[in-house]
């Protein structure tokens, strides 16, 4: 390619005058193409940067406007309205865009901490006259439902009203609604009331068709997490434990509802057994399950009349999101501190996230707490079905270090504190559980699928190997040999023995006693109390009171670990993306989601597992 040139030449004309000429060669087509493309790309990048900067400024402006708006100021003569349509998690994240159609930020979960704090504050807030429960389907585990219900009963002690309305009530929703002064329902609606059922999907037939060999080593005849891959139906041991567990949870729920509705437990069980509400919904009022049939407008007018608001005037209904931003929670005063450390989700090796426990991350938080000289006690809030046995042992050891540093350690159990969740709880100075907490499950297992036959028979893929030692390809695609199986079983047996020792030392029981109530068996909190696995029944506040008493302090402030993230930190957070994907999958799969989730846990599991065999949610 020739170079461009720019030449200036002077020419003498016939009349003797001179004239200057300039010759310029234009740029080549290829050079022009690259210049245009580069210029366009640079312009696009600059425009994107400017637009992003302006978007951030707009976002900050919106949040500043929201923060200074009147939406956080509660008007007098208001009602706190709880809908609880989203899943209830341990800790909520402030949503500054609540009630606005903002697509880029979606906080699709409600925090149990926010519900309890709001009800406690509303009880003494003169602007809040009562609570309206606008319920349909409440997705939560039994212990969470029980905690919210207890908070509603405590709120009623203030003398303020609690009313419930629903077009349709799920069983979980009605359990909460039954705590209200009056329960209203749409005359064409439904109240789901049929008792609890645990249904498990088994995959042995599918696995056999695919020629997959599922190799299992376990300790504990009740350790049923592996049964779906080995059997076509429940084992007798699993059926026994689920029967006892289901009856314990349902008995607690029925007793609570019967007391609030002034009915007998026999009456309520008769309604469930006979399906009377499905046969004729008029029975809902006739039998005292509900108080009155109302359409939504009638319920709204009822609330207006209760508050002395005229029919054409606005009823001040305050959402949970709005109300939670209107006050600061009283965390106490004093130089002494009690640290609340949240341990929520599966237990994994390495770093954790908002939805899982990592031994590295959680141990860092425990160390931060016990190295603070002002922290006198630690309350470990556990809501975990377990996971990695090794990670559980590492966390257990860090709690031993906390006790050696002079800190009192108390465990508060939420929905689950089972298997690995119980492992990290058992050495506490005291354990407080909800009556319907799922705990125990003292047992371990390992599951190693072999897909060699599947590859050969279904895909025509064969394997060959070169190895330096006899077992170099152990835990690969091929089936285990008898010697390898025996070695792995020895490893699992040793892990189970260590688990028994930890519980024995922590709870003051013999290893034989622990083994007799262990074997992987899951217990409710009420049954665990009778067995000596927990010390008392109660909620997080009760656990804090126990910790303060053990530490010998009555003036203290509460500090939380890990520090709750601000909403902005969650906008582009990987954990948020995973939660949203999980929520979308849950929505699409519905009742099949627990099965999908169980399969995902097994696929991701590494090493020996101390994991609970089921997840229980009452819709």
Under 8 Å between Cβ of 139 and 112: no
**Among 94, 569, 606, 88, CA closest to 344:** 88
Tell me the C-alpha distance between 549 and 541, whole Å.
Answer: 12
Catalytic residue among 384, 392, 419, 441: 419
Q: Beta strand pairing status for 336-344 and 556-561?
A: parallel
Which helix (H) or strand (E) segment holds residue 73: the answer is none
**Which tokens sit at 465?**
């190997």
Catalytic residue among 223, 325, 376, 407: 223
Among this protein's residues, is 419 annotated catalytic?
A: yes
CA-CA-CA-CA torsion for 531, 535, 539, 540, nearest 10 degrees? Answer: -130
Under 8 Å between Cβ of 348 and 362: no
Q: Where are the beta strands (DSSP E) in 52-127?
A: 78-82, 88-89, 110-111
Among this protein's residues, is 223 annotated catalytic?
A: yes
Under 8 Å between Cβ of 87 and 137: no
Tell me the C-alpha distance between 269 and 53, whole Å.
Answer: 61
**Which tokens sit at 280?**
């004729």
Q: What's the angle, vertex CA 246, arms to CA 242 and CA 252, rounded to 5?
A: 150
Q: How far is CA 360 from CA 37, 45, 109, 348, 353, in A?
A: 49, 40, 26, 9, 11
CA atoms within 13 A on the CB side of 248: 23
Tell me the C-alpha distance between 515 and 497, whole Å.
Answer: 9
Q: Please give the positions annotated as active site.
A: 223, 419
């Amino acid at each position: 390619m020739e170079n461009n040139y720019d030449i200036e030449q002077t020419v003498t004309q016939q009349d003797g005058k001179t004239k200057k000429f300039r010759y310029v060669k234009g740029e080549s087509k290829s050079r022009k193409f690259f210049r245009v493309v580069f210029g366009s790309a640079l312009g696009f990048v600059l425009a994107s940067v400017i637009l992003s900067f302006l978007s951030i400024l707009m976002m900050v402006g919106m949040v500043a406007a929201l923060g200074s708006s009147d939406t956080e100021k509660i008007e007098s003569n208001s009602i706190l309205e709880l809908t609880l349509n989203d899943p209830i998690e341990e800790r909520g994240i402030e949503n500054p865009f609540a009630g606005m159609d903002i697509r880029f930020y979606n906080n699709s979960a409600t925090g149990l901490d926010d519900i309890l704090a709001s009800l406690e504050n509303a009880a003494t807030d003169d602007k809040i006259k009562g609570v309206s429960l606008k319920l349909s389907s409440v997705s939560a585990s039994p212990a969470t439902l029980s905690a919210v219900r207890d908070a509603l009963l405590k709120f009623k002690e203030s003398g303020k009203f609690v009313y419930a309305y629903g077009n349709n009530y799920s069983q979980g929703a009605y359990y909460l609604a039954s705590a209200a002064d009056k329960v209203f329902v749409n005359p064409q609606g439904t109240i789901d009331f049929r008792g609890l059922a645990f249904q498990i999907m088994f995959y042995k037939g599918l696995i056999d068709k695919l020629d997959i060999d599922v190799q299992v080593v376990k300790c504990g005849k009740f350790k049923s997490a592996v049964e779906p891959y080995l059997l076509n139906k429940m084992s007798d041991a699993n059926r026994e434990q689920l029967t006892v567990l289901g009856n314990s949870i349902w008995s607690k729920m029925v007793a609570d509802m019967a007391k609030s509705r002034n009915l007998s437990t026999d009456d309520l069980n008769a309604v469930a057994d006979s399906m009377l509400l499905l046969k004729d919904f008029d029975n809902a009022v006739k039998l005292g399950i509900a108080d009155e049939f109302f359409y939504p407008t009638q319920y709204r007018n009822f609330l207006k009349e209760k508050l002395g608001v005229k029919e054409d005037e606005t009823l001040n209904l305050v959402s949970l999101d709005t109300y939670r931003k209107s006050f600061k929670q009283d965390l106490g005063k004093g130089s002494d501190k009690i640290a609340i450390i949240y341990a929520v989700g599966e237990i994994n090796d390495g770093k954790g996230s908002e939805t899982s426990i990592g031994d590295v991350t959680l141990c860092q938080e425990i160390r931060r707490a016990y190295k603070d000289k002002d922290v006198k006690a630690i309350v470990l809030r556990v809501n975990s079905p377990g996971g990695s046995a090794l990670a559980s042992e590492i966390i257990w050891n860090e709690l031993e270090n906390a006790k050696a540093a002079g800190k009192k350690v108390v465990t508060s159990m939420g929905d689950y504190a089972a298997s690995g969740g119980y492992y990290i709880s058992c050495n506490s100075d005291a354990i407080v559980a909800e009556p319907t907490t799922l705990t125990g499950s003292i047992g371990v297992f390992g599951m190693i699928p072999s897909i060699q036959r599947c590859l050969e028979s279904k895909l025509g893929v064969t394997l060959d190997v070169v190895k330096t030692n006899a077992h170099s390809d152990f835990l690969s695609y091929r089936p285990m040999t008898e010697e390898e199986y025996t070695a792995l079983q020895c490893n699992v047996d040793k892990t189970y023995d260590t688990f028994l020792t930890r519980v024995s030392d922590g709870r003051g029981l013999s290893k034989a006693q622990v083994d007799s109530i262990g074997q992987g068996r899951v217990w409710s909190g009420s049954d665990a109390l009778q067995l000596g696995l927990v010390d008392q029944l109660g909620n997080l506040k009760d656990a804090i009171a126990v910790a303060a008493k053990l530490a010998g302090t009555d003036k203290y402030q509460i500090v939380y670990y890990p520090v709750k993230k601000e909403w902005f930190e969650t906008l582009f957070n990987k954990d948020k993306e995973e939660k949203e994907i999980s929520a979308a999958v849950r929505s699409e799969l519905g009742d099949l989601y627990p099965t999908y989730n169980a399969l995902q846990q097994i696929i991701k599991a590494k090493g020996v597992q101390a994991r609970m065999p089921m997840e229980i949610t009452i819709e």
